[in-house]
Structures are given as structure tokens and as C-alpha cells.
Structure 1
Amino acid sequence: MGDTEFIIEPGRQDVVMIRTFDAPREVVFQVVTDPELIPRWWGPHVLATRVDRMEVRPGGQWRYANIDSDGGEHFFRGVYHDIVAPERYVRTWQFEGTPEDVALETVTLEAVDGGTRYVAQSVHRSVEARDAIIRADGPRGGRESMDRLAELLASHPNP
């Protein structure tokens, strides 16, 4: 239904990623919280993804590995803090390579025109930490993930 939009304002600690999908929010929520489906859409398209842990409940932990073509693994992890299906979830988000930066991510799903507006806001500990993610081309990975999620949702059976 559209391209991925980013809101990255100078001097702020957050990044907001927005995408509208042509699928009901119940389906979007189910797909983004299903550990068996995460490897099909999460991360840049040049990397494979493995789910090591995913407990979608308050206090539940998650950990994913992105695997490059040489077999190198890059780990991401966090803790779920709030789950309100199918409206939102809140979790921490951390790249294990930079343990000093833990972001708080809130994903909201809003029903719009027969589809779902997905909004992910990640708040980092500082502007500098947020900017490091931008310099590491985080938005490209986010955009590719959202493109892959759109493809998966297009092929996923709707209830």
C-alpha cells in the first residue's frame, strides 16, 4: 500500500518508521509476533535471520541472529514490556555489538482503509546513540524488512 516512511529529526533521540500494509491488523500482529515467520521478513534482504528466543508476553525475552554470507552472526535482543493484541507491543531493542545502547521500541497497529498502519518508534538513550544507528544504515535495514513483510502479508491467508 505504500513505501516506508522515516521520521528522523535532528536533536531527537527517536526514529519513527511508518508503513501501511494491505492486510487486517489482526493478521499483521499475528505475523510480526510469530517466531516461525520472523526469518521470512526481519532484517536486510542480504542477511538470513534465525530466532533464538521469542516469548511474546510481558517480561518475555527475544533474541534474533542476522547471519551474513560468510556465516558471521550479529545478535539483537530485548524484553517485551507490554502486549495489547492486536493494537501494540512495547519492547526493548539492543544490538549486542553495542550493549550500551538499549532502545525502547513501541509498535502500534492501526486499522486504516481495509489495511493496517504500522508505526514503530524507537527511543534511544541519547541523540548520539540514535545517530550511530542512522550512520550504520539502520533505515535501509528497516525499509528492506518492511518490504519483505509486505510481500509476506500479500501471500498470507487472511481470516
Structure 2
Amino acid sequence: MSTEQTTAADGFSYALTRTLDAPAVQVWRAWTTAEQYAQWAHAAIGSVEMDVRPGGAWKATMVTPDGGQFPLTGSYLEVTENRLLTIGMDVPGKPEPAVMTMELDEQDGHRTRIVLRQTCDTAEERDMSEQGSTMLLDSLSAFLAEEAGN
């Protein structure tokens, strides 16, 4: 996995890139189907709802390794099936959502390059978001490998 951190004039950014051993359609389905997303993204059972279309809402209650739970909500800002998902995440106390972009680029019909990008207000927020995104990519990779084995 490659990681790039930048400090832009308007915030602190990161980009995580990984090549997954799955076609783009399978990666897309894992990220945009509530049942699959809940399996790999550490969401509480029954908490994930997704209306995957521009302006559509999503929500999930994430479960931390120590058993803590925290609800997340937001909306989809841009959707290009099997290629691009721009996700707005509501942040308590902030008027604008945090925005994460997921890009998929199928390599050869069997592998997909995924890039997650996000710009945050502070270096601390960026580092925490990047850590969470890295954990998501680790879990997604393991989920897709398990799916391929079935």
C-alpha cells in the first residue's frame, strides 16, 4: 500500500492506494451493499443503511476493537458505479461534512486499484482519518480474499 500526505492551502490531505485481488464490480459491491459493508467495516449488525445515489443518505454504527460504538451518518455526493464514490460524513459541530473519495481502477479484470482520498482541517484529524481508512482497507482486503476462497 502506498500513502501520500500533503498539506494543502485549504487543509491536510492523504491518499491511500492499494491493489486488491478482485474485479472492480466486486470491490464496489463490498463497499455499497449494506450486508457486505457491515461484514468487513466493523459495523454493528443491522446498523448499516445505504441509498447509493447522489444525495442518498447512509448510516452505520461502527464498533471499536474495545467494544465501543459510535454512529456515523452522511450522504453520497458523487456516484459512478464501479468507478467513483464521493462520500460526505457528518461531523458533530461542523457545518460542512468531511468528504472522502474512493476511486476504483480495474487493472486486468481480476485486480483493482483503489485510492481513498480525504482532506481534513488539522494534521491530527488527517492522521486519525488516515489510520481509520488504513484499517478499512486492511479489512476490505481480508474480506475480498475470504470471498475469493469461498
Please say whether Structure 1 and Structure 2 have the same fold, judged by a TM-score greater than 0.5. Answer: yes
Matches of 1:120 and 1:103, distance apart in 2:
13
Q: CA deviation at 1:61?
A: 0.5
Q: Which amino acid in 1 is paired with 2:125?
A: I
TM-score if structure 1 supplies the norm length? 0.76
Matches of 1:152 and 1:70, distance apart in 2:
21
Unaligned runs of 5+ residues in structure 1 are 43-47
Partner of 1:16: 15
Alignment equivalent of 2:4, drawn from 2, 7, 13: 7
Q: CA deviation at 1:101?
A: 5.8
**Could you say what secondary structure the match of 1:9 adopts?**
strand
Alignment equivalent of 2:97, drawn from 99, 102, 107: 102
Residue 74 to residue 157, structure 1, CA distance change in 2 (3 Å): same
Partner of 1:84: 80
Q: CA deviation at 1:65?
A: 1.3
TM-score if structure 2 supplies the norm length? 0.80
Matched, 1:150 2:144: no
Matches of 1:31 and 1:67, distance apart in 2:
18
Name the % identity: 23
Partner of 2:43: 49
Matches of 1:149 and 1:107, distance apart in 2:
13
Residue 95 to residue 66, structure 1, CA distance change in 2 (3 Å): farther
Matches of 1:73 and 1:40, distance apart in 2:
15
Unaligned runs of 5+ residues in structure 2 are none
Q: CA deviation at 1:20?
A: 0.9
Higher relative helix content:
2
Q: Which amino acid in 2 is paired with 1:132?
A: E
Q: Which runs of 4+ in 1 moved over 4 A?
A: none
Partner of 2:35: 36
Matches of 1:8 and 1:147, distance apart in 2:
19
Q: Which amino acid in 2 is paired with 1:58?
A: P
Give yes or no for contact 1:54–1:63 (8 Å, CA) kept in 2.
yes
Residue 93 to residue 15, structure 1, CA distance change in 2 (3 Å): farther
Residue 70 to residue 150, structure 1, CA distance change in 2 (3 Å): closer
Matches of 1:81 and 1:109, distance apart in 2:
16
Partner of 1:74: 70
Matches of 1:151 and 1:69, distance apart in 2:
17
Matches of 2:78 and 2:8, distance apart in 1:
27
Q: CA deviation at 1:39?
A: 2.1
